[in-house]
């Protein structure tokens, strides 16, 4: 995406510091949408989706027909959305589903006119509550945003002003649209914060965004959206960065807010499990075009299009019996060649990741080729979809590698943060063993201490108490001189490759850093080794001199893996390596890790909040809660016969692909919440020191 494209990766639609505009496009709820007919360009769908009978007595709240969105780039105009159409009636919920680059967010933002003034060319028809969004004057659009329709963005930290109290930001939005007094606006802010489940709302309204946990910030965005009682909520990946229990709470909240009201919901997501339990109808997008539409249960149980089947096959399952639909014959079997639509500058924002060329050309960019407007060397078939890597990875576990000798042991590990009365233990008395050649999964909610534990295992953090024994030697107490030779054997893959890669240095130089630090190779040998590593992780060796912004999210994560492999480690800690990726890219990265482990004999510690992914990659799993390991054992034992109530609660919160089962789980969670105090997230406070993920 270039500087002229509409939205940043965060999804923020307004200028920095303009709280009222950015906040007024922020919100969430639920509904039930319907579609009919085949999607354009596909035998199983038409480009439009019409309302279901459930709302046939009401005129459509949203009407979209032949929507086309073109983004200007250095290499010419690129079409991100091509001929999409659907309707949405009051009280309905529609899910826009697809990979990054499918045009989901670009379509959703068109409903509020957020592409205006960005250089994008938008054609077709977009009507919301009778307003022609594409031709309406700016003043009418301002009334529409927040008053009639609101958006909940994916990244609340970017959508909220860090300098203003959360309550003041909500109050500002309310005053802009309702012209009320400051006191009335503040009262409304407290009211909606309480409505979305923020504890002690009157007090927390005075808190700033950094004092809220991730789930609480997302709730605050939902509260901001609800402030002016909109008729339409657009939720853009509202739970992508949240752990399973907080995700379930947010999705349950959306359902609760919609129940008994005429709120309509447009849910943008790459997670079919999230869509299954939230919306009634699905519109599946690929390369900016609709390829399949229909009732959620029907699409998930009997997908007609190869791309839909491939998306389903890439979704990780928590039960081995939950078989995915088989991908079509034309779906690529090699995960390294599945197409990925990449943005012109490699940014990860879905709305600005248009496909290369036009639908008639049926071009797709290879998932292992860099962004930057460059075409792939080979052009896959039009229907070619992301391959399923999940079955191969799950099958590769084959009983695990726990028969190897203990390679690393954590004994009584404890790590404290903060000072004085605010001091707390992020990790408290953890004992773990990692055997040679095995994968140990570490799973838990945000704040459970799993990332802190992972960093201590490779001595990026020093424990307050306890030992980290690597090949029998306690490395927790080693000085820098004695520790330095061991650094090469203990490496880490970080969650966010954007922040872990220097944007001013080429990816080749970043990968070469640990080799240069070792001082054992010449410059020519280092360059040769880096090129080998790039090829090993499925990237072109010729991309040595390219920069991180030229790559997609999945490609950047491959760069991070290559850097971790550079010094030939024996153990790699992977900290949430796929949490920000869509399911097909996620499956490819997981498959790559499994392949590397088999070929190189690596031991892996896989830290994640996604229980389905952890099951897919692990031999054994440790479940963490509040800094302690509450359950540990073989994957089949922990997932099949969980002993601890916390483990059972985590498993119950995992999204499922069966809408009926999703409803049953939601009802069970609701019943539990009514008979007991809901589990509140631990708020992030400045005094408490760094949060333990």
Q: What is the mean pLDDT of residues 653-677?
A: 80
Reference 63, options 90, 100, 45; nearest CA is: 90
What is the widest separation between alpha-carbon atoms in the chain?
A: 76
562: three-class secondary structure by DSSP: helix
| 307 plus 450 within the same structural domain | no
Top-confidence residue, 321 or 200: 200
Residue with tokens 């609101």: 150
Q: What is the pLDDT of residue 34?
A: 37
User: 303 with 452, same domain?
Assistant: no
Number of domains present in the structure of the chain: 2
- Tell me, yes or no, whether 634 and 486 share the same domain: yes
237's CB contacts (< 8 A; 6+ apart) are 105, 154, 268, 269, 270, 350
Choose the final residue of a domain: 258, 281, 314.
Answer: 314
**Would you say residue 183 lies in a domain?**
no
Is position 214 within any domain? Answer: no
Q: Give the other-Cβ count within 10 Å of 439's Cβ.
A: 27
pLDDT, tens digit, for every residue of 557-594? 899 999 999 999 999 999 988 887 888 888 888 999 99
What is the Cα Rg of the chain in Å?
24
Domain boundary (266, 285, 314) is at 314
Q: Specify if 538 maps to a domain.
A: yes
Residue 668 lies in a domain: no
Percent of the chain beyond pLDDT 70? Answer: 76
Read off the pTM.
0.73
Residue 674: which pLDDT band, with cuts at 50, 70 and 90? low
The CATH number covering residue 574 comes to: 3.40.50.300
pLDDT at 460: 92
**Alpha carbons 97 and 514: distance in angstroms, whole number:** 40
Cα dist from 447 to 201, 217, 568, 614, whole Å: 22, 15, 31, 18
Same structural domain, 645 and 506: yes
Tell me the C-alpha distance between 143 and 141, whole Å: 5
Residue 134 domain flag: yes
Nearest-angstrom CA–CA distance, 209 and 203: 13
Question: Would you place residue 50 in the very low, low, confident or very high pLDDT band (cuts 50, 70, 90)?
Answer: low
User: Is residue 10 within 8 Å of residue 46, measured between CB atoms?
Assistant: no
Q: Residue 472 CB: number of other CB atoms within 10 A?
A: 10
Cβ–Cβ under 8 Å, residues 376 and 369: yes
Higher pLDDT, 263 or 325: 263
* Helix (H) or strand (E) segment spanning residue 432: strand 424-435
Q: What is the mean pLDDT of the chain?
A: 79
Query: What pLDDT shows up at residue 676?
Result: 56
618 belongs to a structural domain: yes
SS3 content of the chain, % helix, strand, coil (to 5): 35, 20, 40
Averaged pLDDT for residues 521-535:
93
- Does the pLDDT of residue 619 top 90, yes or no? yes
Q: Is 419 inside any structural domain?
A: no
Domain membership flag for residue 298:
yes
For residue 343, which of 691, 74, 54, 677 has the smallest C-alpha distance? 74
Domain range holding 523? 438-456+478-654
Of 114-118, 416-420, 551-555, 639-643, the least confident: 551-555
Distance of CA 654 to the CA centre of its chain: 14
257 pLDDT tier (thresholds 50, 70, 90): confident
Boundary of a domain, candidates 314, 345, 368: 314
**Digit-coded pLDDT (tens) for 67-112:** 999 999 878 888 999 999 999 999 999 999 998 889 999 999 999 9
Expressed in angstroms, the distance from the first to the final Cα of the chain is 31
User: What average pLDDT score do residues 198-218 get?
Assistant: 89
Q: What is the pLDDT of residue 675?
A: 64
């Amino acid at each position: 995406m270039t500087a002229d494209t509409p939205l940043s990766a965060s999804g923020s639609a307004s200028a920095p510091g303009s709280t009222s505009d950015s906040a007024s496009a922020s919100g969430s709820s639920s509904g039930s949408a319907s579609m009919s007919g085949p999607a354009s360009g596909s035998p199983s769908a038409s480009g439009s989706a019409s309302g279901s009978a459930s709302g046939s007595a009401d005129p459509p709240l949203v009407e979209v027909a032949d929507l086309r969105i073109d983004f200007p780039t250095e290499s010419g105009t690129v079409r991100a959305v091509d001929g999409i159409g659907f309707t949405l009636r009051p009280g309905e919920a529609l899910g826009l589903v697809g990979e990054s680059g499918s045009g989901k967010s670009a379509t959703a933002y068109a409903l509020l006119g957020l592409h205006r003034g960005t250089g994008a060319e938008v054609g077709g028809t977009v009507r919301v509550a009778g307003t022609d969004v594409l031709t309406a004057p700016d003043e009418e659009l301002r009334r529409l945003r927040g008053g009639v329709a609101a958006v909940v963005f994916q990244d609340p930290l970017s959508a909220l002003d860090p300098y203003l109290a959360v309550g003041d930001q909500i109050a500002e939005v309310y005053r802009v649209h309702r012209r009320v007094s400051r006191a009335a606006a503040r009262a409304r802010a407290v009211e909606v914060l309480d409505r979305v489940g923020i504890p002690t709302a009157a007090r927390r309204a005075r808190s700033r965004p950094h004092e809220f946990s991730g789930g609480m910030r997302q709730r605050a965005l939902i509260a901001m959206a609800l402030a002016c009682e909109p008729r339409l909520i657009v939720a853009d990946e509202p739970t992508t960065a949240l752990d399973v229990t907080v995700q379930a709470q947010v999705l349950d909240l959306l359902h609760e807010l919609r129940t008994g009201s005429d709120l309509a919901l447009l849910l943008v997501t790459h997670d079919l499990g999230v869509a299954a339990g939230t919306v009634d109808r699905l519109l599946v997008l690929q390369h900016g075009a609709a390829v399949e539409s229909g009732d959620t249960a029907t699409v998930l149980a009997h997908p007609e299009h190869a791309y839909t089947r491939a998306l389903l096959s890439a979704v990780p399952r928590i039960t081995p019996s939950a078989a995915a639909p088989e991908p079509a014959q034309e779906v690529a079997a090699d995960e390294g060649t599945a197409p990925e639509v990449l943005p012109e500058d490699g940014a990860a924002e879905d709305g600005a990741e248009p496909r290369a060329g036009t639908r008639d050309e049926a071009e797709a960019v290879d998932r292992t080729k860099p962004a930057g407007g460059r075409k792939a060397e080979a052009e896959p078939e039009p229907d070619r979809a992301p391959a399923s890597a999940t079955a191969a990875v799950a099958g590769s576990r084959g009983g695990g590698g726990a028969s190897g000798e203990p390679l690393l042991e954590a004994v009584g590990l404890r790590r404290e943060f903060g000072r004085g009365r605010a001091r707390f233990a992020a990790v408290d008395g953890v004992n773990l063993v990692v055997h040679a050649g095995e994968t140990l999964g570490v799973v838990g909610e945000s704040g459970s201490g799993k990332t802190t534990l992972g960093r201590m295992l490779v001595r990026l953090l020093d424990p307050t108490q306890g030992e980290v024994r690597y090949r029998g030697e306690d490395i927790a107490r080693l000085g820098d001189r004695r520790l330095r030779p061991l650094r090469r054997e203990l490496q880490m893959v970080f969650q966010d490759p954007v922040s872990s890669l220097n944007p001013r240095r080429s990816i080749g130089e970043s990968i070469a850093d640990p080799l240069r630090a070792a001082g054992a190779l010449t410059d020519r040998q280092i360059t040769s080794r880096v090129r080998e590593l790039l090829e090993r992780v499925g990237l072109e060796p010729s991309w040595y001199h390219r920069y991180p912004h030229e790559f997609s999210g999945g490609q950047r994560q491959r760069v991070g893996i290559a850097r971790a492999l550079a010094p030939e480690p024996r153990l790699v800690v992977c900290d949430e390596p796929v949490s920000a990726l869509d399911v097909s890219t996620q499956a490819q990265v997981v498959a790559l890790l499994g392949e590397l482990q088999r070929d190189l004999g690596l031991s892996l510690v896989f830290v994640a909040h996604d229980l389905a992914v952890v099951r897919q990659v692990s031999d054994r799993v440790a479940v963490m809660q509040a800094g302690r390991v509450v359950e540990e054992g073989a994957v089949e034992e922990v997932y099949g016969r969980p002993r601890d109530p916390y483990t059972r609660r985590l498993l119950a919160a995992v999204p499922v692909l069966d809408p009926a089962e999703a409803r049953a789980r939601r009802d069970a969670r609701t019943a539990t919440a009514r008979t007991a105090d809901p589990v509140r997230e631990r708020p992030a406070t400045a005094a408490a020191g760094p949060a333990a993920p």
